[in-house]
Amino acid sequence: MSLLTASALLLAQSGPAAAALDCANAVTQSDMTACAASEWQQADAKLNSQWEQTAAHMRQRDAMYDHSHEDRPGFFDQLLAAQRAWLTYRDANCATEGYVARGGTLEPMLVAHCKAELTRQRTRQLQSIEEWPE
């Protein structure tokens, strides 16, 4: 089975059926992979929610800041560029981490675990941006 096919299967399994899985006691590779995919999807949903908040915060900072004396990107534009670069990094880094089991049934689970962990870290980073002094 190719990684693409396994990933598609992962996403199909990570819907309502994955919610019925006992991920704390998953035994089969299929169940562990579905649980890892579900974990990543939950982390991604939290990231997307935090992104909306942080993006709005940065747009507010742009509205309060006088940009007329410089030609650098605004707060939001810089955040957006960083987020796009981070997404590229996360996906490439996690694909690399999955190579420890390249072509095997373990690979999609390793990639999903990596994406979940890095996504949780990024969510915390976005939260901390909102704590900057005004």
For residue 39, give both structure tokens.
Answer: 């974990």
Looking at residue 93, what is its pLDDT?
98
CA dihedral 15, 13, 97, 106 (to 10 degrees): 150
pLDDT digits (tens, 9 = 90+) for 35-94: 999 999 999 999 999 999 999 999 999 999 888 899 999 999 999 999 999 999 999 999
For each of the domains in the chain, give its residue range(s) and CATH number, in order of start.
3-129 (1.20.1270.180)
- 8: confidence class by pLDDT, cuts 50, 70, 90: very low
Total-model pTM:
0.82
pLDDT value at 131 more than 50: yes
